[in-house]
Amino acid sequence: MMTMQQSFSLSVLSCVLLLTACAQSAPVRNARLELAAEHSQNAQRAYNRGDYHVALRQYEMALQVDVAIENIPGIAINTLNLARVNQSLGRPEVANAYLDKLLQDRALEYEKSFMVAAAAQKSLLVLQQGDVKEARHWLEKASLWCDGKCPLASVIDNAHAAIALREKDTDQALRWADRAASASRNDSLLEYANALRYMSEARLMRGEFTTALRLADEALAVDKSLGWPEKIKQDLLLSASAYEGQGDAGQAKRFRERASRIATR
């Protein structure tokens, strides 16, 4: 069965994507802002094609320029992006350090949406390390900053679902994931697929393998449309677990083989 750490890792990456466009749509006022935006756009393109090392270098250069001219939104966005890229590269400690830079900065005042994204990411990062109490702490901070009205509300709901899954509370996991799915269905396919994945995981825990398979299949269709190798691999592994639960060893092996062929880094 797919591990909980694998399931959690994707939401850690997702919440900042809702903010990334801000770095590209901000009006260019001078040559240095234009340079920072160019680095950020190059980084996003590299990330989308899976070239994480190039994305890392480009985001670092974008952040360096933004710091030099104290472009506060740019500093926040590129710090969040650097946390995201380092997480994709399997460097959770570095990702966590970037999030702390944002969350513990007492000199600059960031928009609440950036603080929500950072706190939600940190919640899931510490949850991966097994610290449920700390995960709840940061999720509460994210919820406070969000106040139920920010664009990242579905990210927070999915984080609640992740915590519930870690505690094997399938009722709460399904409640939060269903809420996230309803909120994101028409606004963020990324979070909608995350919610489907959490619901599938909860159904697997309950032994409801047919429903788990249906949800994993729907998530797979969404993730293929978005072109996310990491998520496609997770969906295939979920399906393999569901087939295994049904006693179909042949299909389980087939789906695991498909997942093994997908390079995520």
Determine the 3-state secondary structure of 30 from DSSP.
Answer: coil
Taken in order 6, 9, 11, 14, the sign of the CA dihedral is negative
- At 70 the pLDDT is 96
**Digitized pLDDT (tens) for each residue of the chain, 265 residues in all:** 444 444 444 454 555 554 554 444 455 568 999 999 999 999 999 998 889 999 999 999 999 999 999 999 999 999 999 999 999 899 999 999 999 999 999 999 999 999 999 999 999 999 988 899 999 999 999 999 988 678 889 999 999 999 999 999 999 999 999 999 999 998 899 999 999 999 999 999 999 999 999 999 999 999 999 988 889 999 999 999 999 999 999 999 999 999 999 976 6
- At 13 the pLDDT is 53
- At 15 the pLDDT is 52
User: How big is the chain, counted in residues?
Assistant: 265
- At 150 the pLDDT is 81
What residues have CB less than 8 Å from 164, skipping those under 6 apart?
A: 170, 171, 172, 173, 175, 176, 202
Q: Which domains does the chain have, with CATH numbers?
A: 4-260 (1.25.40.10)
- At 1 the pLDDT is 47
Q: Are 78 and 52 in contact (CB under 8 A)?
A: no
CA angle 91–220–163, rounded 5-degree value:
50
Location of structure tokens 């935006």: 37
Q: Are 155 and 14 in contact (CB under 8 A)?
A: yes
Location of structure tokens 């919820």: 143
